Amino acid sequence: MLGHHQSAEDRADLLTKKYSFLKNVKGVDPKLIEEVVKEIYYADPTNLEFKLKHITNLFEKQSVWKALTEFIRFEAETIH
């Protein structure tokens, strides 16, 4: 579905649609949704909504150090 020939913008749009679809399907593994959020974060680092979701997921489910690193990067980007 998501080929390598697509632009980063197209990829981010498709991933956002995939996220919207998965959020509305009952019984979807939350880890799958978290992975899509992570993919959107990397495909479109300017997307504030998914950047914050990704950082929140890191704090809640993964490494606090990774989360702090991403948060500090986010903070530095928003200041400048």
Average pLDDT for 30-40: 91
| 1-20 per-position pLDDT tens digit | 555 567 878 888 999 999 99
Of 1, 39, 24, 32, nearest to 16 by C-alpha is 39
Torsion 68-72-75-77 (CA) sign: negative
49 contacts 20 by C-beta, under 8 angstroms: no
Strand ranges, E, within the chain: none
Domain boundaries, the chain: 9-18+29-79
Q: What's the predicted TM-score (pTM) here? A: 0.72
